[in-house]
Amino acid sequence: MVDAGLQDAVLWVVRRVALRITRFPVLGERVELRTACSALGARWAERRTRVTGPGGGGGARVEAVALWVAIDPRTLRPARIDALADVYGESAGDRRVRTGLLHPPPPADAPSRPWTVRRADLDVAAHVNNAAYWQALEEELEGLAAAAGLAVDVEHRAAAGLDELRVLTGGEYRWIVAPDGAVCASFRLASGAVAASGAGN
């Protein structure tokens, strides 16, 4: 954003991420990272990020596709980003962002466990940082072998603060919900990851 001169024009909030890990990076391994805007919309942009071993050969292989919402830094409301086509249009081409959220709501009888938010998990808006939600999932995947790979989709739906949240489980889905039942975020794990974690059904 700074290189493109857009640091004062727009803020970005992540709405959805699809993460596919064929092989996890390991400590001391040299990796290459490539990222680019891969699709645009009126108020959204999609960014693809790839981590591979040197030269794209063997080694680590991680791919992520993220949907970002553009926020006007003055009004803090979603903002039109027509001007960004001049910056990101070359990599985005004519591809348009798909903005719909796909995860179903949790079933009424879904098993749950508490998840405590720490003050360190909050961002500058006093909301749980989107990256912090992955901590709830990380606890389940502790037994997943690094060589097994991982496929997870996360959707962010509502902001949460310093509340006692709960993690609901239903098959391949996990929902993080606020005390009033509002879904703050949801995860969908590939069936292999669910089986390896032992936390699925």
Q: What is the pLDDT of residues 69-99, one digit of tens each?
A: 888 888 888 888 776 777 777 777 677 777 7
CB of 141 closer than 8 Å to CB of 197: yes
Say yes or no to pLDDT of 114 above 90. yes
pTM flag (> 0.75): yes
Question: Which domains occur in the chain, in start order?
Answer: 11-92 (3.10.129.10), 112-197 (3.10.129.10)
What pLDDT score does 53 carry? 86
pLDDT of residue 65: 93
- Taking 70 as the threshold, does the pLDDT of residue 147 lie above it? no
Percent of the chain with pLDDT over 70: 88
- Looking at every residue in the chain, the average pLDDT score rounds to 83
| Under 8 Å between Cβ of 137 and 174 | yes
Average pLDDT over residues 173-186: 95
User: Does residue 103 register a pLDDT over 60?
Assistant: yes
